[in-house]
Amino acid sequence: MGEKTREIATLNLRGTAYELPVLAGTENEIGIDIQKLREKSAAITYDPGYVNTGSCKSAITFIDGDKGILRYRGYPIEELAGKIPFSAAAYLLLFGRLPEEKEFLQWRTDLTRHSFIHETLIQFFEHFPPTAHPMNILGSMVASMSAFYPYDAEDEQHIMLNIKRLVGQVKTIAAFSYKKSIGEPYIYPRSDHSYGANFLRMMFATPAEEYVVPEVMEDALDMLLILHMDHEQNCSTSTVRMVGSSQANIYASVSSGINALWGRLHGGANEAVLNMLEQIRQDGGDYKKYIELAKDKKSSFRLMGFGHRVYKNFDPRANLLRGAVDRLLSELGIHDPLLEIAKNLEETALKDDFFIERKLYPNIDFYSGICYRALGIPTEMFTVLFSIGRMPGWIAHWLEMREDPDTRIQRPRQIYVGSPLRHYHPPEIAPWDLVKQSKLF
Ligand code: ACO
């Protein structure tokens, strides 16, 4: 797997032929190994955005963007999302196989046992301003966990304990930050609830009365979280690997991934989709105007939730969610005008040459926001939900990176385009000497 083949690729550069080994993946993906290219030829490869660069070998997730295929550990996403609980899928991603009954029970119990936030860390919520974005809170809280749970990086049991803390606590931090924002008391996790049910209970229960988590909501949440769980070397996962490659601790690595996910071209897109749909609704529902705006090169407006770096046919996650949205809204008896706008946008864009030529299809975020909204999750929490789902994926990659003998600190090269050599000739009195003499500081 990912091994060198007998094939050799030849690069002709300035009259010299350089032979480069060829690698093949399980699904016949081809990679040209350029590790020695610079040493042999002084040339580097140039690939902004890493559109065509493989940074590692990985056995976690397989994507074929042209065929719309997504598999976790070999299983098609269609056979997992909506079919197994989130905690079982997390186990699969982290440990490479589905758990046996006993293992699953233990894993579920462990995740609840380690889902309590350190009581001192809970006080941190008090010190964020009321305007703090929940992603800001989540990233800071996860980074702070390393101060509370220092660990021996060589001790496998320590590593495993901290993995359970991360997967277990991310949902508690998310729910507590919401409770704090609305001024309600925190609700603590319970061991007789599943992962998803615990999260919903912590979000929506109050101490005043019993709260029964609606099964339809628990199932929809599990599906959403599984769909978000991993997507090979995306921006946030690559960030986790990049930070982890310096041997930074797991909390520092994962909190960096959370910050990367926050951007509106990545996980922040689900929030941006809802804001866009709301803007169209307030603008009288004229969705065609926004399609034209997205096509206008003079405008920076993009149809949020459309397009993907890898999927150039369809996003299988969006396909699964499209059906789930309809079911969820009808079972909960919700009529959402934003869904109407979303469907109109999708239908019109898919027939438009601009989108067809550029292979722009709805991505997962086009529908995930509407699902979250139906579950009663506030818009600014959408990317936090994405982070909860993505947590096992980030950790699986962090573990894989740690165990891979090929891992080296990640350090890309560049083509320097700045000034050629120039020299500094000190003037009689330099500006900084003048500032110092004026005693302005
Ligand atoms: N609306 C309008 N035009 C678009 C869109 C869009 N959503 N996405 C891409 N394009 C156009 C670009 O303007 C460009 O056109 P050009 O060739 O005429 O210059 C062409 O399509 C290619 O776009 P790139 O930005 O080069 O594609 P890239 O692979 O770099 O970006 C991305 C992918 C960031 C997802 C992009 O499609 C986008 O911005 N989409 C909207 C944001 C979004 O939904 N992000 C969520 C991604 S999924 C996820 O992270 C979970």
Q: Where are the domains of the chain?
A: 3-64, 75-267+377-403
Q: Ligand 1: which atom is nearest the Cα of residue 366?
A: 44
Q: Which residues line ligand 1 (CB under 6 A)?
A: 265-267, 269, 294, 302-309, 358, 360, 363-365
Q: What are phi and psi of 313, to 5 degrees?
A: -130, -75
Q: Which of 271, 354, 358 is the pocket-test mutation for ligand 1 (most atoms within 8 Å of CB)?
A: 358
> Residue 306 is encoded by which pair of tokens?
């459309």
Closest residue by Cα to atom 36, ligand 1, is: 307
Centroid of ligand 1 to alpha carbon of 126 (angstroms): 38
Q: Which of 230, 265, 291 is the pocket-test mutation for ligand 1 (most atoms within 8 Å of CB)?
A: 265
Task: Give yes or no on whether 3-64 and 75-267+377-403 have one common fold.
Answer: no
Q: Which amino acids are annotated catalytic?
A: 308, 365
Q: Which of 229, 306, 355 is the pocket-test mutation for ligand 1 (most atoms within 8 Å of CB)?
A: 306
Q: Ligand 1: which atom is nearest the Cα of residue 228?
A: 51
Print pLDDT tens along the chain (441 aa): 467 778 999 999 999 999 999 999 999 999 999 999 999 999 999 999 999 999 999 999 999 999 999 999 999 999 999 999 999 999 999 999 999 999 999 999 999 999 999 999 999 999 999 889 999 999 999 999 999 998 888 899 999 999 999 999 999 999 999 999 899 999 999 989 999 999 999 999 999 999 999 999 999 999 999 999 999 999 999 999 999 999 999 999 999 999 999 998 888 888 899 999 999 999 999 999 999 999 999 999 999 999 998 898 889 999 999 888 888 999 999 988 998 899 899 999 999 999 999 999 999 999 998 899 999 999 999 999 999 999 999 999 999 999 999 999 999 999 999 999 999 999 998 998 888 888 666
Task: Specify the pLDDT at position 1.
Answer: 46
Task: Specify the pLDDT at position 440.
Answer: 62
* Exposure of 150 in the CB half-sphere (CA atoms within 13 A): 1
Task: Specify the pLDDT at position 439.
Answer: 67
Closest residue by Cα to atom 2, ligand 1, is: 302
Which CATH number applies to 75-267+377-403?
1.10.580.10
Task: Specify the pLDDT at position 441.
Answer: 60
Centroid of ligand 1 to alpha carbon of 299 (angstroms): 14
Centroid of ligand 1 to alpha carbon of 65 (angstroms): 15
Q: Which of 273, 363, 382 is the pocket-test mutation for ligand 1 (most atoms within 8 Å of CB)?
A: 363
For 66, 206, 423, 424, the CA distances from 430, given in Å and listed in that order, are: 59, 65, 15, 12
Centroid of ligand 1 to alpha carbon of 307 (angstroms): 5
Centroid of ligand 1 to alpha carbon of 5 (angstroms): 35
Q: Ligand 1: which atom is nearest the Cα of residue 309?
A: 29
Centroid of ligand 1 to alpha carbon of 343 (angstroms): 19
Closest residue by Cα to atom 24, ligand 1, is: 309
Say whether pTM exceeds 0.85: yes
Closest residue by Cα to atom 11, ligand 1, is: 358
Closest residue by Cα to atom 34, ligand 1, is: 265
Centroid of ligand 1 to alpha carbon of 62 (angstroms): 22
Which CATH number applies to 3-64?
2.20.28.60
Task: Specify the pLDDT at position 184.
Answer: 94
Beta bridge partners of 16: 13
Closest residue by Cα to atom 20, ligand 1, is: 358
